[in-house]
């Protein structure tokens, strides 16, 4: 049995009680990675030597009678845009190949304080720009349910590693759905917290007003435990919220009685029958547990996609200007600095990153700023106001996470606009800074998992997790990872 199959909370309880050693749990995780990663390519790098040191430290604390923390001995994988001293942080880009940061991200330090053991760094779309984990300089990740399909993106490596049973939990980042979309396509739970609840210190920036770190796990309870471990104010992040992070684990057994749930009607028409059916069935589960359920009209949310693909590239063009061949990363020498900058970026960035940087630079340029970037920010405000209108009457919203189940590898790489549509239902929460999560609920076309999305207002994580726990209780158990090894079907 792999650590993921045992469950993060069960493993932590066994390690804290001295019934299992953190070292043995780690070795099981590393064995699972060695067994399946050659087929799936979830990991860019392992930190096995450092992980063994950490596991031994956890075991010493247990032996001395000291509690190592709520995630004692739990193996965790980190998306490769989260800075670590124990392994390179490359963002799956040639421009950062082999770069090892001199510091750990805040979330890494907080995982260590909770007793977790980081095992390695997972593959992603380069600089988190993509929805399939095919835009990676190290090659694509494959979906463990069907290796001929994508795992989603950009946190595809993290989602697939959990779904394949390599680790029980992982961290990803979510700028426009990059935790929730791969979670749905891989049959795991994925959470994007309220903007500012989890520190971004040490997260390599894509779009700074949108990025958030969050957990991927096999159950809602495990996701809540990891979120509580990494959340909280951080002086090193100027966007970090001052108030205490919501405690979600304590509401998981509260049920749905009294909850007001709104189903986002505008999304159902753009989703496949599998995804629409899952949302309606999840709404029935909540109603059966005492929630009041109604459909709500939020047509403004459908404009979020267009606004996002102006705002995010604009912020990316600014953030990625630091990769100039001077301070760190790749350098392609040339007779002068300007030529060196250009050659370095041409060689270091992949096609999707170049596309978004050029788009972002264009919309910020003189003469186009008001027509594009400023207009996109006005649409962002409309999205936030639409959410406010909805939450005046409901506590949480229910929607599809994705328009369809996981699609075949290579089927959308030639059409960027078609790929962008994979984020249609997840982007609005990022624009508003609200929390949202995907819960595996059903099986759809080809026996692939279907996720249902639960959305809440800012700092509404407790209501969100409460609803998610009820949705999970009514889900098809076959829709959740970890899944055994098997080839493409």
CB-count burial class (<10 Å; 0-12, 13-18, 19+) for 22: buried
Cβ-based burial of 243 (10 A; exposed 0-12, middle 13-18, buried ≥19): exposed
With tokens 């990153």, the residue in question is: 353
Which tokens hold the place of 309?
A: 């693909």
Residue 227 has phi, psi (to 5 degrees) of -60, -45
**Which of 21, 93, 136, 154 is an active site residue?**
154
Do 29 and 75 meet the contact criterion of CB atoms below 8 Å apart?
Answer: yes
**79 catalytic, yes or no?**
yes
Separation of CA 465 from chain center: 16
The one catalytic residue in 86, 158, 178, 199 is: 178
- Active-site annotation holder among 21, 79, 131, 192: 79
Residue 411 · residue 326 · CB < 8 Å? no
Respond yes or no: is residue 178 known to be catalytic. yes
Token pair in block for residue 390: 């909805």
Q: Does residue 21 carry a catalytic annotation?
A: no
Residues in the chain: 489
Upstream peptide bond of 154 is cis (omega within 30 degrees of 0): yes
The set of catalytic residues is 79, 154, 178
């Amino acid at each position: 049995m792999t650590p993921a199959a045992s469950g993060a909370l069960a493993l932590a309880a066994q390690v804290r009680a001295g019934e299992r050693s953190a070292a043995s749990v780690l070795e099981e995780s590393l064995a699972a990675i060695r067994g399946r990663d050659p087929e799936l390519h979830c990991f860019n790098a392992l930190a096995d030597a450092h992980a063994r040191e950490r596991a031994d430290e956890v075991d010493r604390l247990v032996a001395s009678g000291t509690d190592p923390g709520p995630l004692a001995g739990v193996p965790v994988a980190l998306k490769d845009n989260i800075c670590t001293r124990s392994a390179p942080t490359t963002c799956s880009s040639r421009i950062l190949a082999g770069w090892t940061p001199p510091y750990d991200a805040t979330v890494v330090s907080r995982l260590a304080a909770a007793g977790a053991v980081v095992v390695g760094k997972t593959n992603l779309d380069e600089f988190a720009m993509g929805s399939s984990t095919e835009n990676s300089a190290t090659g694509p990740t494959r979906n463990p349910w069907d290796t001929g399909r994508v795992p989603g993106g950009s946190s595809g490596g993290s989602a697939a590693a959990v779904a394949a049973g390599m680790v029980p939990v992982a961290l990803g980042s979510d700028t426009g759905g990059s935790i929730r979309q791969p979670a749905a396509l891989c049959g795991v739970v994925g959470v994007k917290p309220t903007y500012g609840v989890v520190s971004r210190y040490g997260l390599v920036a894509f779009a700074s007003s949108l990025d958030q770190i969050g957990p991927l796990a096999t159950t809602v309870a495990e996701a809540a435990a990891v979120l509580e471990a990494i959340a909280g104010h951080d002086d090193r992040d100027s966007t970090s919220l001052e108030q205490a992070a919501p405690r979600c684990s304590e509401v998981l057994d509260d049920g749905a009685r009294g909850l007001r749930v709104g189903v986002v009607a505008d999304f159902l028409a753009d989703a496949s029958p599998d995804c629409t059916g899952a949302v309606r069935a999840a709404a029935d589960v909540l109603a059966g547990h005492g929630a009041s359920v109604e459909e709500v009209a939020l047509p403004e949310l459908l404009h979020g996609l267009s606004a996002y693909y102006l705002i995010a590239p604009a912020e990316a063009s600014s953030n990625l200007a630091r990769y100039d061949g001077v301070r760190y990363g790749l350098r392609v020498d040339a007779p002068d600095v300007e030529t060196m900058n250009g050659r370095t970026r041409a060689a270091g960035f992949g096609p999707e990153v170049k596309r978004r940087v050029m788009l972002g630079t264009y919309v910020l340029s003189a003469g186009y700023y008001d027509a594009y970037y400023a207009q996109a920010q006005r649409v962002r405000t409309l999205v936030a106001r639409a959410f406010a209108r909805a939450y005046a009457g409901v506590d949480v919203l229910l929607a599809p996470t994705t328009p369809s189940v996981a699609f075949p590898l290579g089927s959308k790489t030639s059409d960027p606009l078609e790929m962008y549509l994979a984020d249609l239902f997840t982007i609005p929460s990022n624009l508003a800074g609200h929390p949202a999560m995907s819960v595996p609920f059903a099986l759809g076309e080809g026996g692939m998992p279907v996720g249902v999305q639960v959305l809440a207002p800012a700092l509404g994580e407790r209501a969100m997790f409460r609803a998610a726990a009820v949705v999970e209780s009514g889900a098809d158990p076959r829709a959740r990872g970890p899944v055994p090894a098997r080839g493409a079907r």
